[in-house]
Amino acid sequence: MVAGNWKMNLGLADAVRLASDVARETADDARAVTVAVCPPTIWLEAVAERVRTSGVALGAQDVHPEASGAFTGEVAPPMLREVGARYVIVGHSERRQLFGESSAFVAEKARAVLAAGMAPILCVGETLDEREGGDAEAVVLGQLAESLDGVALDDPAGLVVAYEPVWAIGTGRTATPDQAQTMHAAVRAALAERFGGGEKIEILYGGSVKPGNAAELFAQPDLDGALVGGASLDADAFAAIVAAARASL
C-alpha cells in the first residue's frame, strides 16, 4: 500500500488536479498496489469525485471519536464514511506533538474508525532524542500498545500501521533500510501477539520517502508500503513510489 498524506496543503483547484493526475498515473499499478490519497478534510468530497471510478482510495487525515455532538470544528467518522473515505490516519506525530493528542485518545479514534466501517492508518514513531537515548523500540511498542487499547479486529486488513520516525518526517533524513526493517519486525511481532492473524496487518514506513529511496525500503521483508508526505504532492514522484512498490511484489 502507498498512501499520500497531503497534510495542510493545496487549494481546491490544485487538489482536484493532483487527484486526477494521481488517478491517471497510477492506473496500472493500482491493480496490484493499494493506492490512497488523504487530502485536507475540506477537499475530501471534491477529491472523492475525481477518484471514484479509479483504483485510488480516499483517506482522511484525522477524525473525532464521537459519532456526532457538540464538538465545534470536528468531523465524525460516519461523515468521513459518507463522503467515501476508506482510510483515516490516526495518531500522526504532528497531532501528537502539536495538538497534544495522547495514545488513549488515538485509541478512541481507532475504535471509532473501525466501528464506522473504515480502516485506521495508525501512526507511531520515536523522536530523535528517544532514538539517541536507545529507547526507540520501547517508545514505539508502547505507543502501539496504548493506541490499540480496546481495539478488536474482525479482519487484519481492517488496520494499517505506519512507522514514522519523527526525525525523518519532512527532514529529508530517511531511516536506513536496516533501521526501518528492525522496527517493522518488532511492530509485526507485537501485532501478531496482540491480534489473531496480526502478522497480516500492513505496516507502512513514513518519513522522507522519495522515488530515489523507495525501492531499497520496499526491498525490506517487513515493509509493506509507505505513507508519503512531501513527495505525495507531486503526481510524478508519488506515481514513481507506487511503481517501486509494485516492482517489489
* Active-site annotation, residues: 92, 164
> Angle of helix 44-51 relative to helix 12-25, nearest 10 degrees?
30
Which residue among 29, 62, 101, 164 contacts ligand 13P (CB under 6 A)?
A: 164
Residue 209 or 217: which CB sits closer to ligand 13P? 209
Quick one: which of 78, 54, 53 has its CA closest to 66?
78
Q: Total residues contacting ligand 13P (rule CB under 6 A)?
A: 14
Residue nearest to ligand 13P (CB): 229
Cell readout for 98 is 502539536
Which x/- pattern, by CB under 6 A, does the window 112-141 give for ligand 13P?
Answer: ------------------------------
Residue 68 or 176: which CB sits closer to ligand 13P? 176
Which residue among 1, 227, 244, 245 contacts ligand 13P (CB under 6 A)?
A: 227
Q: Which helix (H) or strand (E) holds 179?
A: helix 177-194
- Tell me the closest approach of the beta carbon of residue 68 to ligand 13P, in angstroms: 27
64 dihedral zone (left: phi>0; alpha: psi -120 to 50; beta): beta
Task: Confirm or reject binding of residue 228 to ligand 13P (CB under 6 A).
Answer: yes
Residue 166 or 186: which CB sits closer to ligand 13P? 166
Report the site for ligand 13P in 196-225 (rule: CB under 6 A): 206-209
Which of the 8 DSSP states describes residue 143?
A: H
Task: Confirm or reject binding of residue 169 to ligand 13P (CB under 6 A).
Answer: yes
Long-range contacts at 93-97 (CB < 8 A, ≥ 24 apart)? 93/123, 93/125, 93/164, 93/166, 93/169, 94/7, 94/169, 95/62, 97/166
- Tell me the closest approach of the beta carbon of residue 172 to ligand 13P, in angstroms: 8
Distance CA 214, CA 43 (A): 28
Residues that bind ligand 13P (CB under 6 A): 5, 92, 164, 169-170, 206-209, 227-231
